[in-house]
Structure 1
Amino acid sequence: MIDWRSKGFWLPEGTFSGNPSIFDGGFTWPLMVVRRDAVAANIATMAAYCRRHGVEFAPHAKTTMAPGLLDAQMRAGAWGMTVATPNQALVLRRLGIDRVLIANQVLDPTALAWLARESAAGWEVCFQVDSIAGVEAAAATGGPLRVLVELGHPGGRTGVRDLDALEAVARAVAAAPGLELAGVTGYEGQLPDVDAVDGFLDLLVDGFLRLGAAGLLPERPWLSAGGSAWFDRVIERFARVGSQARILVRSGASVTHDDGFYRTRTPFVRVPSEGPLDAALEIWAQVLSTPEPGLAIVGMGKRDAPFDEGLPVPLSVFPDLPAEGITVTKLNDHHTYLSVAGADLTPGTLIRFGISHPCTAFDKWRAIPVVDEERRVVDVLETYF
């Protein structure tokens, strides 16, 4: 139900309907929109990329938590979806997603009991373990539960830090009634460069081979990694066990891409013949004040735009002027500071911004217009955060 509670929609009375332009008066600023054609192209690009390389794709749903986009990715051939939390897994279960990987260890007995019941009912769900405590918590449900053992790296997030610990956790899974070891996983996204990524992925493959040689893995086990910055290296380094493993990559940001963090880090910068991706998110916001020379204040802030991996990027000034000489310098809750060098901005001017890091953009908007290239609304996405 899109009505007066929906940010960006201007509906003092009634509910939203039709296919208006975002400039026709039924919307107010700031407003984040999704470009339909860019999203469709990105989904098709990633689906084709995974098919070419013979890997499965489970895009990370936590980026968007938007049923319309998750459904589009599944229809394009995704094996399933990845989530970060049991709550997100619950949402996807209710949405009818048949296969879900929780890319985290689950320790909450309430959530584990529910996962075991849903698994017993036929739902294909799997999560990660990186400790004996995690194995014991899962085993306490009586199962059936499928898990992946996780390898991490020094200074990183979760995951055991060496192959001895990886094997110890795998052996604990094998000895636990009701648990099934489905494979090995890791996350390389926080590593700083190609050499560090390749080194970690090679160690992950070594761990996979070690567990296989010890008889701890099933036939055709999973080997999974791959955020949105290094999935090309994942495919390259995992190739030496491609005949033994089912390789699963998990890029989430690729569905909308961005104009900041991932624009420079996407693998398609390194292998442009395999891409490209197109930034699909934009925020339209108005200049509220030009209080001093060289400064403009825009009515958009941390409540509206991501700022954790880079600030918004001015793209154009309405209707289609280039945003030359305009730079975002900082954000408050509801204000953006622009450094203006030579641009003629006045209060009321409408500016189109790109965003950096889509994973912290969607959670700020419960209803997001999907627009064509004339900025007419063709659909509305709901987000489930």
Structure 2
Amino acid sequence: MDADPYPVWRRLRDEAPLYYNEKFDFYALSRFDDVEAGLSDWRTYRSGRGSVLEFIRASLEAKLEMPPGLILFEDPPAHTVHRGILSRVFTPKKMLALEAKVREFCVRSLDPLVGAGRFDFVGDLGAPMPMRTIGYLLGIPEDDQESIRAGIDRGLRLTGDAPDPAPRMSDGAQYAEYIDWRARNPSDDLMTELLTTEFEDETGTIRTLTTAEILVYVNLLAAAGNETTTRLIGWAGTVLAENPDQRAELAAHPTLIPNAVEELLRYEAPAPAHARYVARDVSHHGQPVPEGSVIVFLVGSGNRDERRYLDPDRFDIHRDVGRHLTFGYGIHHCLGAALARLEGRVALEEVLRRFPTWEVDWPGAARARTSVVRGWESLPVITG
């Protein structure tokens, strides 16, 4: 299922557009229109208990408490306040201003590999470049970034075939030292903005963020700013290897790369499933979904829905992608979408400039097994 979910998702769309899984007690919607509408309706489908199946289960059983500021796991009014703070310091304009730095990180990763005959799309580029970027934004020293990323990976990894019955929520304590240092040494980075930005909270009080809230924000940004972009770059390695004619076209015409990134995001969504708590009785396709249920919106399936896209299982860099579901929809639309697009575009430009052809070393490739992202843990390739 993890290796190739698309045949199952196609059956769900055709035969069970509202699916119920008895073993793990959740519902799932798989068609584009259903997923889009559900993600937009935050009053019915709530994030405050989590947006991952096992987190919702643990919160319902009082085994897990969501810390304030974790906007992925919040509903209005708290979500409105906390997202508003991040949206001020995480604007598309500010993210696009990072292009030179992102390119520098890609060059540092790729230049030493020229002439080596092989490299790892994830280990050599997809993992370090996003970490360096978010570390630069947050003021985390590069010497510490690798261990932080390893900790993020350990927290996401699955070891069995079932959801984790006792998921753990990091409190971000590993970032406390950086926050304290930046409070004494303000700069023009995102960490300083989080420390100094004044806002009106849900009680009407004008204040700045507490240290505990900043820890949650930084923990969220470090994890979200790494995992999805890492998987996107890994998928670029496999999908373009499987479509060498389109890869050659991108190498010859780099202006096509931005649309190719959109098609990659549609074709292989790095985070293909978003869960919600059902806050009131609803029905889909003539079947009831009772209040208190968990519903999973299969974003990756919606992106391959024949009702939305012509020949959706074909990768096409010239496709008019329009709106896909990969970055979510509604109030939880990904704040880092502009940065992910930038990193994906620059990474492809720099890879194709140096390595216009490659073949995947499939025996050496390994999938990342998590319940929130889907992609490659390592993807070695042989270059020409």
Scaled to the shorter chain, the TM-score interval is under 0.3
| Greater gyration radius | 1
**TM-score when normalising by structure 1:** 0.25
Larger RCO, structures 1/2 (Cα 8 Å, 6+ apart): 2
